[in-house]
Amino acid sequence: MCFALKREGNGPMLTTLIPANTMNEFALDVRRGLQKKPQKELPSKYFYDATGSALFEVISQLPEYGLTRAEERLLSRHAKEIVDRLEGPVVVAELGSGTGRKTRFVLEALCGRQPTYYHPIEISPSALAACERELRDIHCISIVGFESEYLNGLLEVAARREEAEQLLVLFLGSTIGNFDGDASIAFLRRLRSILREGDALLLGADLLKPVETLVRAYNDALGVTGAFNRNLLLRINRELGADFDLSQFEHLAIYNAETHSVEMHLRSLKEQEVTIGMAGVTVSLRFGETIWTETSHKYSHAELVRMAKEAGFRAEAQWVDREWPFVDNLWIAQ
Ligand SMILES: C[S@@+](CC[C@H](N)C(=O)[O-])C[C@H]1O[C@@H](n2cnc3c(N)ncnc32)[C@H](O)[C@@H]1O
């Protein structure tokens, strides 16, 4: 199903639905991931049902998770400088907007120029709706959201913009770090191929910092990140007819020094079998065996410079938060 509407004034946000993860795909991804050897995996994009999106919002406010506050400080201080580096009329697309709270600073900074279209692109319908509620009062912005995978949504936005409009793509919150290894460069290259020369990408990236600080950020005292992680099993139970016993899995956050990433896993607390009805599979887990659910890569400045080049961008400028080392990078498509 796909529909598109035009928004005028302060009416409701209009959403185009680009079918992303049909139940079939979800079942296939779960089956493929749980059959992987030697390490079972589940794709992190499935964290974000309504409960997962709500839990992520809480995580972003936890004392241990300094990342969101760092980027909020950067954007609140530098949004005008950022948008001043872009010439002409701008259309804004945001990949995985979440509630879009931090995005307000960028959008308000653009209000000094011309009325602007803002396109949040979200896999989570509840995050997309929250984003609309969060930002609808900004008078110079028309919000047209896409319930879609990142690049399918971006293709739509790119196809709709006017010839003279420059695209500013926001990819905030170090979500790029959820792509492991070479997948991040491959993703950025695909993203670049959708853009025109001169379009811009504002990329938020969490920087390397002491291991204890990093691990605490993904293993908070309140246990919210653990709930966020285990909610994935609850979602699979509900949507795919599985029989995961959540009390038999514990949340694990570990730092992988080789890949410079924090990994989240779910560790089996006993030898057990789990059946995922709609995926047509029964899997066995050993005592202590883990299912790898998320990677959060941490960056060095040198690595980001190399990534920009490899993906076909010029690193135009960067803004760094010293309190919680985090960088917002402005890259221009070459
Ligand atoms: C880590 S959260 C970051 C949210 C927000 N950008 C921030 O900085 O706080 C990632 C967001 O991306 C969305 N997301 C995850 N995978 C996605 C995908 N493949 N396509 C579109 N959205 C996705 C999630 O629903 C979630 O809201």
DSSP per residue, 283-307? EEE-TT-EEEEEEEE-B-HHHHHHH
* Both structure tokens of 144: 């047209």
**Residue 20 clears pLDDT 70, i.e. is over it:** no
Q: Are strands 141-147 and 14-17 parallel, antiparallel or unpaired?
A: parallel
- Among 285, 294, 208, 296, smallest CA distance to 251 is for 294
Walk across the sheet containing 200-206 and list its strands: 14-17, 141-147, 116-122, 90-95, 166-171, 200-206, 326-333, 313-321
Ligand 1 atom with the smallest distance to the CA of 149 is: 20
Q: Give the residue whose CA is nearest to atom 11 of ligand 1.
A: 96
This prediction's pTM:
0.94
User: Quick one: average pLDDT of 282-300?
Assistant: 98
Q: What is the pLDDT averaged over residues 282-307?
A: 98
Interhelix angle 224-240/23-34, rounded to 10 degrees, is: 120
Per-residue pLDDT at 113: 86
Measure CA of the first residue to CA of the last residue in the chain; give whole Å. 35
Residue 13: per-residue pLDDT: 63
The contacts of residue 320 (CB under 8 Å, 6+ apart) are: 74, 207, 326, 327
How deeply is 294 buried, as exposed, middle or buried, from its count of CB atoms within 10 A (0-12, 13-18, 19+)? buried
Mean pLDDT lowest among 9-13, 100-104, 314-318: 9-13
Hey, what are 110's tokens?
């653009």
Cβ atoms of 191 and 311 within 8 Å: the answer is yes
Name residues whose C-beta falls within 8 Å of residue 24's C-beta, 6 or more positions apart in sequence: none
Q: Is the CB of 13 under 6 A from ligand 1?
A: no
Q: What is the mean pLDDT of residues 57-62?
A: 98
Give, using CA atoms, the residue closest to atom 15 of ligand 1: 45
Residue 162: partners with Cβ closer than 8 Å, 6 or more residues away: 89
Checking if the pLDDT of 2 tops 80, the result is: no
Of the listed ranges 1-15, 45-59, 187-201, the least confidently predicted one is: 1-15
Which atom from ligand 1 is nearest to the alpha carbon of 124?
Answer: 25
Q: Is 147 helix (H, G, I), strand (E, B) or coil?
A: strand
Task: Tell me, letter by letter, the H, E, C secondary structure of 185-249.
Answer: HHHHHHHHHHCCCCCEEEEEEEECCCHHHHHHHCCCCCCHHHHHHHHHHHHHHHHHCECCCHHHE
Q: Determine the pLDDT at residue 47.
A: 98
Which residue, judged by its Cα, is nearest atom 6 of ligand 1? 97
Percent of the chain with pLDDT over 70: 94
Comparing C-alpha atoms, which of 269, 271, 266 is closest to residue 235?
266
Contact 307, 185 (CB under 8 A): yes
Ligand 1: does its nearest atom lie under 6 Å from the Cβ of 296?
no
| Ligand 1 near 56 CB (within 6 A) | yes
Residues found in the chain:
334
In the predicted model, what is the mean pLDDT of residues 39-60?
98
Q: With CA atoms as reference, report the closest residue to 253 among 289, 210, 303, 217.
A: 217
Vertex 316: Cα angle to 314 and 319 (nearest 5): 135
Count of C-beta atoms within a 10 Å radius of residue 270: 11
| Ligand 1 center from residue 122 Cα (angstroms) | 6
Residue 234: what residue type? L
Question: H/E element holding 274?
Answer: strand 272-276
Pocket test residue of 29, 72, 175 for ligand 1, highest count of atoms within 8 A of CB: 175
pLDDT digits (tens, 9 = 90+) for 200-255: 999 999 999 999 999 999 999 999 999 999 999 999 999 999 999 999 999 999 99
Lowest mean pLDDT among 8-17, 84-93, 113-122, 295-304: 8-17
For residue 21, pLDDT beyond 70: no
Answer for the pair 177, 298: CB distance below 8 angstroms, yes or no.
yes
Q: Whose CA is nearest to atom 7 of ligand 1?
A: 173
